Each structure stands twice: as C-alpha cells, then as structure tokens.
Amino acid sequence: MRALKENSNGRYQKVPAACGLVNVSRNTLMKIAGEANAIARFGKSVRIDMPVLYDYIDKNCKG
C-alpha cells in the first residue's frame, strides 16, 4: 500500500504537525485551539483548523 502524502500547507493539520508550525507543546496547542474553536474531529482523527488558530493567536495571544 502507498504511503499518503501529507499537505503541509493544508487548512486542517494533524496535532503534531500543528505543534511544530506554532512552536508550542501539545497541551498548550489543544488549550489555545479549544478556546479558538479550531478543533475539528473526523471520526477518531483530530485536526486543527490552522487559519482559525492563526487568527485567534494574532488577536488574543500577542502581548
């Protein structure tokens, strides 16, 4: 079976990939994504809606 190619520029990212893109730990990412309503679940798969997360960080998390 062929390995799936992952789109690193896609809207929905897996949690480990999103952690790397935002440079935060998993727990911090899930806390911020929960506050931003950026968590999407497709069956058992948890994905982060990156544009929503980035907008939330830009508006609320910068000092």
For 16-59, what is each residue's pLDDT tens digit?
A: 999 999 999 999 999 999 999 999 999 999 999 999 999 999 99
Calpha distance 8→21 (Å, rounded): 9
Q: Mean pLDDT, to the nearest integer, of 7-23?
A: 92
pLDDT at 1: 75
Q: Mean pLDDT, to the nearest integer, of 3-10?
A: 81
Q: Give the pTM.
A: 0.87
pLDDT at 9 over 90: no
CB 38 within 8 A of CB 59: no
**Which of the 8 DSSP states describes residue 38?**
-
The position carrying tokens 């990212």 is: 13
